[in-house]
Structure 1
Amino acid sequence: MWERLRYLLLLLLWLHGTDSFYVPGVAPINFHWNDPVEIKAVKLTSSRTQLPYEYYSLPFCQPSEITYKAENLGEVLRGDRIVNTPFQVFMNVEKKCEVLCNFPNKPVTLTVDQSKLMAERIREDYYVHLIADNLPVATRLEFYSNREEEDKKKEKDVQFEHGYRLGFLDGNKFYLHNHLSFILYYHREDVEENQEPTYRVVRFEVIPQSIKLEDLKADDKGMCTLPEATGSAPQEIDPTKENQLLFTYSVHWEESDIKWASRWDTYLTMSDVQIHWFSIINSVVVVFFLSGILSMIIIRTLRKDIANYNKEDDIEDTMEESGWKLVHGDVFRPPQYPMILSSLLGSGIQLFCMILIVIFVAMLGMLSPSSRGALMTTACFLFMFMGVFGGFFAGRLYRTLKGHRWKKGAFCTATLYPGVVFGICFVLNCFIWGKHSSGAVPFPTMVALLCMWFGISLPLVYLGYYFGFRKQPYDNPVRTNQIPRQIPEQRWYMNKFVGILMAGILPFGAMFIELFFIFSAIWENQFYYLFGFLFLVFIILVVSCSQISIVMVYFQLCAEDYRWWWRTFLVSGGSAFYVLIYAVFYFVNKLDIVEFIPSLLYFGYTALMVLSFWLLTGTIGFYAAYMFVRKIYAAVKID
Structure 2
Amino acid sequence: MAADFRLRLWRSLLLLLSFSYTQAFYIPGWSIKSYKDNEAIPLLVNKVYSDNTQLQYAYYDLPFICPPTGVHHAGSSLLSGQSISLNLGEVLRGDRIMQSDIELFMGQDQECNFLCKKTVTRHDLKRAREMVEDGYVAEWIVDNLPGATSFVTVDKSRKYYAAGFKIGYKDISTSGHTRYYINNHLTIVIRYRKAPGKDGERGGKVVVGFEVYTKSIGPTKREESGCPTDINEVDTAMELYLQPNSTDFSVQYPHSSYHPPESEQDLEDGATLDIPYTYSVYWREDDKIEWAHRWDLYFVNQEEGSRIHWLAIINSLIISGLLSAIVAMILARTIRGDIKTYKDAAMEDGKLKGKRKSRPSSGARTPKTGEKVGTGLLDQVGDTENDADVSSDEEPLEDVTGWKLLHGDVFRAPAYGYLLAPLVGSGMQLVFMAVGLLFLSSLGILNPSFRGGFVSVGVGLFVFAGLFSGYFSGRVYKTFGGLNWRKNTLMTAILFPGLLFALVFILNLFVWAQASSTALPFGTLVGIIMLWLCIQLPLVYAGSWFGYVRTGAWEHPTKTTTLPRQVPTQAWYIQSPQSILLAGLIPFAVIFIELLFVFQSMWQDKSGYYYVFGFLSVVSIILILTIAEVTIVTIYIKLCSEDYNWWWHSFFVGGGSAIWVFVYCIWYYFTKLHIQGFVSSLLFFSYSFMACVVYGLLCGTIGFLTAYAFVRRIYGAIKAD
Same topology, TM > 0.5:
yes
Which residue is 2:311 aligned to?
279
Which residue is 2:334 aligned to?
301
2: CA distance, partners of 1:301 / 1:234: 78
Cα deviations by residue, 1:352-389 (Å, 9 ceiling, x for unpaired): 01111111011111110110111111111111110111
Amino acid at match of 2:205: Y
SS of residue matched to 1:128:
strand
Which residue is 2:714 aligned to?
632
Which residue is 1:203 aligned to?
209
Aligned residues: 601
- Contact 1:98–1:224, Cα closer than 8 Å, also in 2: no
C-alpha change, 1:194 and 1:30, in structure 2 (3 Å) is closer
- Contact 2:309–2:593, Cα closer than 8 Å, also in 1: no
C-alpha change, 1:542 and 1:281, in structure 2 (3 Å) is closer
- Contact 2:624–2:702, Cα closer than 8 Å, also in 1: yes
- Contact 2:93–2:518, Cα closer than 8 Å, also in 1: yes
Which residue is 1:605 aligned to?
687
- Contact 1:167–1:177, Cα closer than 8 Å, also in 2: yes
1:589 CA displacement: 1.4
**Pairing partner for 2:419 from 323, 340, 343:** 340
2: CA distance, partners of 1:508 / 1:587: 18
- Contact 1:31–1:198, Cα closer than 8 Å, also in 2: yes
1:93 CA displacement: 1.2
C-alpha change, 1:624 and 1:474, in structure 2 (3 Å) is same
Amino acid at match of 2:679: I
SS of residue matched to 1:636:
helix
Amino acid at match of 2:328: M
Amino acid at match of 1:544: T
1: CA distance, partners of 2:113 / 2:53: 33
C-alpha change, 1:302 and 1:319, in structure 2 (3 Å) is farther
More moved, 63-72 vs 419-428: 63-72
CA RMSD, Structure 1 to Structure 2 (Å): 2.1
2: CA distance, partners of 1:191 / 1:495: 67
Q: 1:219-230 maps to which residues of 2 (within 5 A)? A: 219-228=223-232
Q: 1:164-183 maps to which residues of 2 (within 5 A)? A: 164-171=165-172, 172-183=178-189
- Contact 1:190–1:197, Cα closer than 8 Å, also in 2: no
SS of residue matched to 1:86:
strand
1:181 CA displacement: 1.3
Amino acid at match of 1:355: A
Which residue is 2:119 aligned to?
109
1:259 CA displacement: 1.6
1:225 CA displacement: 3.6
More moved, 304-313 vs 580-589: 304-313
SS of residue matched to 1:236:
coil
Cα deviations by residue, 1:64-88 (Å, 9 ceiling, x for unpaired): 2121101111111111000111212
Which residue is 2:536 aligned to?
457
SS of residue matched to 2:516:
coil
SS of residue matched to 1:493:
coil
2: CA distance, partners of 1:595 / 1:361: 37
Which residue is 1:50 aligned to?
54
More moved, 333-342 vs 156-165: 156-165
1:32 equivalent in alignment to 2:36: yes
Which residue is 2:137 aligned to?
127
1:414 equivalent in alignment to 2:493: yes
Q: 1:362-373 maps to which residues of 2 (within 5 A)? A: 362-373=441-452
C-alpha change, 1:190 and 1:618, in structure 2 (3 Å) is closer
Amino acid at match of 1:78: R
Amino acid at match of 1:28: I
SS of residue matched to 1:204:
strand
TM-score calculated relative to the size of structure 1: 0.90
**Pairing partner for 1:269 from 300, 303, 324:** 300
Which residue is 1:260 aligned to?
291
Q: 1:139-538 maps to which residues of 2 (within 5 A)? A: 139-145=149-155, 155-171=156-172, 172-189=178-195, 196-214=202-220, 217-228=221-232, 232-238=235-241, 240=262, 242-257=272-287, 258-271=289-302, 272-299=304-331, 300-311=333-344, 312-314=347-349, 320-470=399-549, 471-524=551-604, 525=606, 526-538=608-620
1:191 CA displacement: 6.8
2: CA distance, partners of 1:269 / 1:496: 46
**Pairing partner for 2:66 from 54, 61, 65:** 61
SS of residue matched to 1:50:
coil
- Contact 2:558–2:719, Cα closer than 8 Å, also in 1: no
The percent identity for this pair of structures is: 39
C-alpha change, 1:238 and 1:163, in structure 2 (3 Å) is same
1:302 CA displacement: 1.8
Q: 1:542-561 maps to which residues of 2 (within 5 A)? A: 542-561=624-643
SS of residue matched to 1:205:
strand
For structure 1, the residue ranges without an aligned partner over 5 or more in a row are: 1-21, 102-106, 146-154
1: CA distance, partners of 2:69 / 2:400: 87
- Contact 1:62–1:86, Cα closer than 8 Å, also in 2: no
2: CA distance, partners of 1:190 / 1:621: 50
More moved, 81-90 vs 439-448: 81-90
Which residue is 2:14 aligned to?
none
- Contact 1:61–1:86, Cα closer than 8 Å, also in 2: no
2: CA distance, partners of 1:78 / 1:356: 22
1:196 CA displacement: 4.8
2: CA distance, partners of 1:402 / 1:513: 43
Cα deviations by residue, 1:46-78 (Å, 9 ceiling, x for unpaired): 121101100011132234212110111111111
Which residue is 2:700 aligned to?
618
TM-score calculated relative to the size of structure 2: 0.80
1:224 CA displacement: 3.5
Amino acid at match of 2:705: Y
Amino acid at match of 2:41: V
SS of residue matched to 1:219:
coil
2: CA distance, partners of 1:192 / 1:341: 60
Amino acid at match of 2:135: D
1:347 CA displacement: 0.3
- Contact 2:60–2:68, Cα closer than 8 Å, also in 1: no
SS of residue matched to 1:492:
coil
**Pairing partner for 2:114 from 68, 74, 99:** 99
SS of residue matched to 2:676:
coil
1: CA distance, partners of 2:441 / 2:566: 51
- Contact 2:160–2:299, Cα closer than 8 Å, also in 1: no
Which residue is 2:372 aligned to?
none
Cα deviations by residue, 1:401-445 (Å, 9 ceiling, x for unpaired): 110011110000000001110111011000000000011111111
- Contact 1:348–1:390, Cα closer than 8 Å, also in 2: yes
1:282 CA displacement: 2.7
C-alpha change, 1:360 and 1:417, in structure 2 (3 Å) is same
C-alpha change, 1:260 and 1:158, in structure 2 (3 Å) is closer
1:24 CA displacement: 5.8
SS of residue matched to 2:348:
coil
2: CA distance, partners of 1:534 / 1:179: 41
User: Which aligned segments of 4 or more residues in structure 1 are displaced greater than 4 angstroms?
Assistant: 190-196, 314-319
1: CA distance, partners of 2:558 / 2:539: 34
Cα deviations by residue, 1:218-239 (Å, 9 ceiling, x for unpaired): 323454443445x533221016
Amino acid at match of 1:163: G
SS of residue matched to 1:88:
strand
1:160 CA displacement: 2.4
1:574 CA displacement: 0.7
Amino acid at match of 1:64: T
Amino acid at match of 2:587: P
- Contact 1:287–1:540, Cα closer than 8 Å, also in 2: no
1:192 CA displacement: 6.7
**Pairing partner for 1:576 from 653, 658, 677:** 658
